[in-house]
Structures are given as structure tokens and as C-alpha cells.
A = this chain, B = another copy of it.
Amino acid sequence: MREQFEVRDSDAGGRIGELTVPRAGVTVETPALMPVVNPNIVTIEPSRMADEFGAEIIITNSYIIKTTDGLEADAREQGLHDLLDFDGAIVTDSGSFQLAEYGEIDTNTEDILQFQHEIGSDIGTPVDIPTPPDVSHERAESELRTTQERLELAETIDVGDMLVNAPVQGSTHVDLREEAGAHAAATDLDVFPVGAVVPLLNDYRYDEMVDVVAASKRGLSRDCPVHLFGAGHPMMFALAVAMGCDLFDSAAYALYARDGRYLTVDGTEHVEELDYMPCSCPVCVDETPASLRAMDDRDREEALAAHNLHVTFAEMRTIKQAIRDGDLMELVERRARAHPAMLDGYRALTDHAAQLEETDPASKGSFFYLSNESAARPEVVRHHERLDRLSPSGEVLLTEGDHSSDYDESWPVVPPFGPFPKALRNTYPLTAEMPSRLDRDAYEAAASGVARLADVNSDTSFTLAHEDWPESALALVPESVTVENLWRGER
């Protein structure tokens, strides 16, 4: 067990955790946002991030510090915390990004970890190889071997109580991502960035991002805090948290602000195109689009950066509240409507419902059915798995209507779950709140439940009494089940 990370609460694949960072003497609550601080261009002072936005952890780039005249000396002399004026945890990246961008860098794992340790970093990073998407399996595997050697080297370097990142690579090859996760988890390193997803995010390939995270998580163990490296748009935090990511870094708050862009949980607006401030943050309450446009560039950049940070931190709080409420999947449903690619991401998440089910609590407040995708939630998968272990016998009525003493047993049937013993009626998720206008996916999921129960109980005689299910659902009910339509109304 990794002592420095403790999971306090969970919902789907998401969790609230505590990351103890011994060198900083702080405990960071996850999911956490780490604002990226570029030591050369500070838009919002780190001390203000702590005081005004509640930042507990930030991230900066040790390679930039090391290779910038003056900064290196200052960092060595004052230490990173004084240099940046930040008392919380400071993560340092290694230059891997620069390696990926420029092909070579003037450092190596031993050297940069040593430097990070010397300047007082709390979580350091070796020089891994961020293999881009879509490369050959051969190249991805070969580069992953190099990354793995670097992690093994990092284990041997004495960095005191500085924590060390163990990046998980493997390009878009999910077998390699899973293997990389398992290898990284087996080291004694501490924090697990899923690397090189930025190209996927830039191309709106959220479904593939989900598959890559799912694969990495299958390899990693539950005590591994996972950082989705380079994912800074608040639109996708809920989705990524539901997949099991714990740490995010945002350079977006500042880069977008420099460009006049305004983040929301549903996308990005440009300040030139705003007629209203679609936000309740202190900046948006005080300013108007006209007043922002009238500011000088520096003030506008700072105002936009502050708005972007407010939105981003508020989304983290919203996600944590959702995990406490057992509503994280409902939040993912909402955020999935930000963009068609986010819908792809959510639809991809449902492919991994069985994986998420493993950490999903057995009981929560209530299940809200909010879209066709709700029919594929982890709770539905779990209920169907449970049906395999139930053995009603004799003549059994599965019914949406009244129970009947003409049968040996009467079981309720509720879309999207399907049948269940009466005794479970008031248990999660069977107390789900459903729309009155149900979709085919809900009925079909219920029919699959009926089929699953009938398949494992071939000696039992089942009758399904349904309220006018669509043909596509009835087609999933095995021939052996007698089917009756209870509906007496008009179509």
C-alpha cells in the first residue's frame, strides 16, 4: 500500500483522496487542480492562487528554471517555495514535454531529479518519453521500455522525501498502457501521470482519451494517485474523474486568457464574441464584455485568467460535492453535452462500466435516469451481474404491474434494470428516478436483464408482464419466456 495516498470516498471510478506530500508538510485533497506556473510569465501570483482560489498544489517546470539564466541561481539560493511565494505543494515537470517538442533536451533523469530535489520540489519527475498517439506498436513499445528504464533509475536516486512521478506511456495502444500502468505501480514511485494525452485532447478525441485512461487504470492499483497530464479544460474534468483521475494541471487558465478566451464548463468563448457574462464569478459580476474589452491588455488578461481559475476551481468543488452525494455520473451526463466529442467520451466511458462498477458504492442517494446513455451505467451492469446469481423457481411472474398469487413468485420489473426479488424494491439503484417518457435503451436493458435471468434458470418458467415495451426490447426476451402486454390504453 502507498501510504501517501488514501481514498476517502468514491463514486463510479472517481474518488476523493488525500495525498500526503511530506516535503511540503501538507495534505492535498484530490481531485485537485494544479495551476501551471510559468516562472517566466506569472499571470496570477501563486500566493493569490492559494488565498483567493484555494489552490493547495501547483506545478512548474524545473527544466525551464534550470535552463533560464538567473532563475536557476535564484531557485538554488531561495528554494522553489520562496521563489514562487507558495506554501503548498509544488510539483516540477522535467522537460519531457520539451523533449517531445524539440527532439532533444540538455538534461537526463538523474540530473533533473537531483536538481528538482536541490531546489526544494515536493514532487519531481524523471525524463520519460511522451509517445504521441497513433504511432506503431513497435515504436510505442520501444519508447515505453525507455520510460520504464528511467522509472527504474529514478527509484535508485536519493531524493530524500521528495515524491516522484512515474509517468504511464504507451501511445494509443491500450495493451501497452495497461502494462505501463502495472509496471509503474510496481515501482516504489508515488504519483502516476497518464502522459501524452494532450494530442488526443487537442483533436477532441475524448473517447480515445477515455480508453487510454481506462487501460492505464487497469494496470495501476487503487492506491495510485493518477494525474491526467495536460488536461486543463474544466469541461472534461468530471469525465476524467469518473474514469479515476485525481490530479489535473491547468496552463489553460493563463494561456486562454492571453488569447482572450473565456473558459466555461461547457466550452470556450472568446471575449470579443461575448454579449453577456455567462458566469457568476466575482469577475463576471463586476465586469461586462464592454468593460473587459475596454481594459488594457494586461488587465484584461489578468481578469480573464481570474475568471478561468474561478470556473476551474468551482468545477473541482462541484465534482467533489457530486462524489459525496453519489451524483458523479449525473454530473458526467451534464458535462457530456458540452460538445459532440464529450458525448463520445461519455459513450466510451459506458464501454468501461464493468471496470467502474468495481469501485462504485453499492448504495447512494438516488439514481437519476437522464439520457439513453443512463441505460449503460455501472449500476445497470452490476444489477445484471447480480441476476446471474439469483435462482427463482417454479412459475415466476416478472411484472411491471400487480403481483399475482397464481404464480410461485412475483418479481417486479423496472427499466433499465430488469427483474429483481421484491425484497430489493427499496434498495439502490432500484429506487431510480425515471422520466415518464422512457427510451428504447431503457426497455432493452430491462429486457436483457430478463434474458439473463431466464438463461441461468432454464428450469424455471417465466412470464413477463410488461407495459407496452417496444418491439426492439421484446426481441431480446428469450422464446422460453411467456410475454403479456398489460397495456390497455390507446397508442
Contact A282 B282, beta carbon cutoff 8 Å: yes
Query: Which residues between 312 and 370 of chain A lie within 8 Å of chain B, taking CB atoms?
Result: 313-314, 317-318, 320-322, 324-325, 330-331, 333-334, 336-341, 343-344, 347-348, 368-370
In the complex, A56 has a CB within 8 A of chain B = no
Question: A371: nearest residue on chain B (CB-CB)?
Answer: B371
Interface residues of A in 293-325 (CB under 8 A from B): 310-311, 313-314, 317-318, 320-322, 324-325
How many copies of this protein are present in the complex? 2
A278 contacts B317, C-beta separation under 8 Å: yes
B369 touches A372 (CB 8 A): no
Given A369-B340, A436-B207, A280 and B314 contact (CB-CB distance below 8 Å):
yes
The answer to whether the Cβ of A491 comes within 8 Å of any Cβ in the partner chain is no
Q: Verify A437–B343 contact, CB threshold 8 A.
A: yes
Is A266 an interface position by the 8 A CB rule?
yes
- Decide if A284 is an interface residue (CB 8 Å cutoff): yes
CA distance A368 to B371 in the complex (A): 16
| A279 is an interface residue with CB less than 8 A from chain B | yes
Are A433 and B339 in touch, CB under 8 angstroms?
yes
The answer on a CB contact under 8 Å between B368 and A339 is yes
The answer to whether A321 and B276 touch across the interface, beta carbons within 8 angstroms, is yes
**A269 on the B face (CB < 8 A):** yes
Cβ–Cβ contact B275 & A341, under 8 A? no
**Is A174 an interface residue when CB atoms closer than 8 A count as contact?**
no
Q: How far apart are the CA atoms of A348 and B435 in the complex, in Å? A: 11
A285 touches B281 (CB 8 A): yes
Q: Kindly state the separation between the CA atoms of A311 and B372 in the bound complex, as whole angstroms.
A: 28
Given contacts A285-B310, A472-B472, contact A370 B278 (CB under 8 A): no
Closest residue of B by beta carbon distance from A368: B340
- Residues in B with CB closer than 8 Å to A207 are 436-437
User: A434 an interface residue at 8 Å Cβ cutoff?
Assistant: yes
CA distance A120 to B207 in the complex (A): 59
Beyond A207-B437, A273-B325, A340-B433: 14 further Cβ-contacts under 8 Å?
A269-B325, A276-B318, A276-B324, A279-B280, A279-B318, A280-B280, A280-B314, A281-B285, A339-B370, A340-B368, A340-B434, A344-B437, A348-B437, A472-B472
Q: Is the CB of A371 within 8 A of B281?
A: no
